[in-house]
Chain A
């Protein structure tokens, strides 16, 4: 044993101070690097060593992380890794969980011959003290002294005393680091899940995925969709010198391989990257499923909407359906237009609450039901009452808002009833816009035996009725009232557009972030065009040819084809003949024939001041039969003042 007694070892009071200082310094050190610096620095100082090392056992249990410092250098932690079975004093201290004490050069060479090359000019001593937590060495600190040293039991106790707080601090820092890593990983994955959930567009989703990976987890990331020959790169971010050496992670979900993610220059745990790939694949597959249902719902929706609107005389009408921009926002929005008896028009707009296939299917049923009731010529409120009763009776449970309106072109009267639907908008020819607030009741499918309100208004020629679903006025972060105001303003800007241009204009003014689906229907009675025809005709058979010739001329001027001229003249002639045939008294001395074009429809009135007599005899009955056969619409309106026969016929060759 070499005598090292002349070297100044700390005395008891100094030892206590050193221990206290060490404990205080460790209390402030949180990370492994901080703790490592304190341990190396404090032990070297407290024991008057020349240099110190710290070895920390990796969680894998097979590797040591080495930090070194001399009295002159700051500690550098984690710079070196050695296998646990390396023959060095610190590794031996960890392995044995006992102090390794080497009083002189000879003892070092004897026990660790492999260190000979590193001991040139070394004549001091070394010691390695295990850092023990819970009976297990988590590392060791080593000291190198410049002179041989005989380690007394007292000295070894002091070195072990220093080891205790060091070991605890290191363990704490390690747990802290592990927890921090886990937190970061979870936070990252949570963020990744959020980002992946934001899009239901598969490729957009993968582009986002790559921006999550680079630069946070790796230097380069690429994603391919499909397999083998069919693989297609949809996203790539970052740079790498060696794309072939990248880590490849399969994107698989529900037993389907969707593609692959490649990563180069990874900085994260493989587990983190694998979890990310798993979540991305799931999100990708969800997007695919959502898209499938979205497409199915949209297809169903469109198939249930009218493929084209009927061509109705004297009115202009157009409609559009626009599915929601994202997600499953295909819903139960619908519109419908159909002719009713007496030249009237039925108009429907509705919205089944709910989304997806179910709502689209419910919409189809409601649309058929409304048509069926409407064609039985129930008034709007009655149609809604029947519809509500049907919905409750069949227990479909699907709530819907809708408006059913009828328009009579003769009287310009619009009758409507609303089941909790946003109010119709009317834009006058001068651009004045007003909402029709009347006739509102609760949605259908909510309460049995609901009475429905009905309201009427006049829709003058050239005015436009706009029916819409809430998608047109709903704006995120704004009130419905504000949305309606915006709609009214947008409509008022362009009162003179034809209905299809108006519809497109309104759809363009839709909130840019609109995700809801939208149906919109624009309806406009056309202004009467061209000069009217009018003739005051004596009730005499010999007068019929004259009025016929004048009306023929007027019809030809209006652009009617020869066949149309013939049909209108004959129908009108029959109406006139009926008046003449029944002209008995002075009050029946004359009657009035008038005609006008309403849009592309010719409308002829024959008004007398007598009372309508039912045609007598079977042959005379051909008159009314002919009128009905030749005209689109024949209306006979008897009143106290006389009888009016109104004939309407759509002209195909008309020049509007």
Chain B
């Protein structure tokens, strides 16, 4: 069974959700739900740190893309953190994640971008 963990660092303005493990069609919906719940109406956006994700297929990507679209409609931003050397970077490019999210190399970059 595929397993992933989402740990949220709450914040009024910019909460950070750190995801680890693997995401595929078996748990993608659940991960997406946890991420969606981490954003309050008052927040400017959500940082999703994918640095510890070993595997994410198109189901997981779909969850992130949907989240990005939802946040944008609410005037909030989705910031995806992924080290430049991660193989997932290319995957985000293929699905054009940058249309709905800022892809940052580190959490600091993400915070700086919102400052």
Contact = CB atoms under 8 A, between A and B. Distances in A.
Given A541-B25, A567-B87, A622-B95, A548 B58 contact: no
Contacts of A545: 1-3, 22, 24, 26
A478 interface: no
B55 A570 contact: yes
A580 B58 contact: no
A239 interface: no
A432 to B, nearest CB: 45
Interface in B4-32: 22, 24-26
A569 B87 CA distance: 11
A412 interface: no
Interface string A561-594: 0110011011001100100110000000000000
B74 interface: no
Given A545-B24, A545-B26, A573 B57 contact: yes
B95 A581 contact: no
Interface string B78-115: 00000000011011001100000000000000000000
Contacts of B94: 622, 625-626, 629-630
B95 A626 contact: yes
A577 B58 contact: yes
A567 B62 CA distance: 18
Interface in B21-64: 22, 24-26, 55, 57-59, 61-62
Contact of B25 (A570, A577, A625, A630): A577
B101 to A, nearest CB: 15
Interface in A605-622: 619-620, 622
Contacts of A581: 25
A555 to B, nearest CB: 13
B25 A623 contact: no
Interface residue range, chain A: 20 to 34
A625 B95 CA distance: 8
B26 A542 contact: yes
A622 B87 contact: no
Contacts of A246: none
A619 B62 contact: yes
A544 interface: yes
Contact of A626 (B22, B55, B65, B91): B91
Contacts of B88: 566
Contacts of A573: 24, 55, 57
A566 B62 contact: no
Contacts of B55: 548, 566, 569-570, 573
Given A541-B24, A619-B62, A630 B57 contact: no
A498 B87 CA distance: 35
Contacts of B57: 570, 573-574, 577, 623, 626
A542 B1 contact: yes
A574 B90 contact: no
B65 A619 contact: yes
B87 A566 contact: yes
Given A563-B87, A630-B90, A622 B58 contact: yes
A619 B91 CA distance: 14
Interface in A531-564: 541-542, 544-545, 548, 562-563
A542 B26 CA distance: 6
Contacts of A619: 58, 62, 65-66
Contacts of A622: 58, 61-62, 94-95
Nearest to B63: A619
A585 B88 CA distance: 34
A570 B56 CA distance: 8
A626 B58 contact: yes
Contacts of A548: 22, 24, 55
Interface core residue of B1, B57, B87 (most chain A CB under 10 Å): B57
B66 to A, nearest CB: 8
Given A570-B55, A581-B25, A542 B91 contact: no
A63 B25 CA distance: 120
Nearest to B3: A545
B87 A544 contact: no
A634 to B, nearest CB: 13
Contacts of A625: 94-95
Interface core residue of B1, B58, B87 (most chain A CB under 10 Å): B58
Given A626-B91, A626-B95, A544 B25 contact: yes
Contacts of A570: 55, 57, 91
Contacts of A623: 57-58
Nearest to A540: B26
Contact of B2 (A542, A620, A630): A542
Given A619-B65, A626-B94, A544 B58 contact: no
Contacts of B25: 541, 544, 577, 580-581
A234 to B, nearest CB: 64
Given A566-B88, A574-B58, A630-B94, 15 more contacts: A542-B1, A544-B2, A545-B3, A548-B55, A567-B90, A573-B55, A574-B57, A577-B24, A577-B59, A619-B62, A619-B66, A623-B58, A625-B94, A626-B58, A626-B94
Sorted from nearest, which 8 A-B pairs have the closest CB atoms?
A566-B87, A541-B26, A622-B58, A545-B2, A619-B62, A629-B94, A623-B58, A563-B87
15 contacts: A541-B26, A542-B2, A544-B25, A567-B87, A569-B55, A619-B58, A622-B58, A622-B61, A622-B94, A622-B95, A623-B57, A623-B58, A626-B95, A629-B90, A630-B91
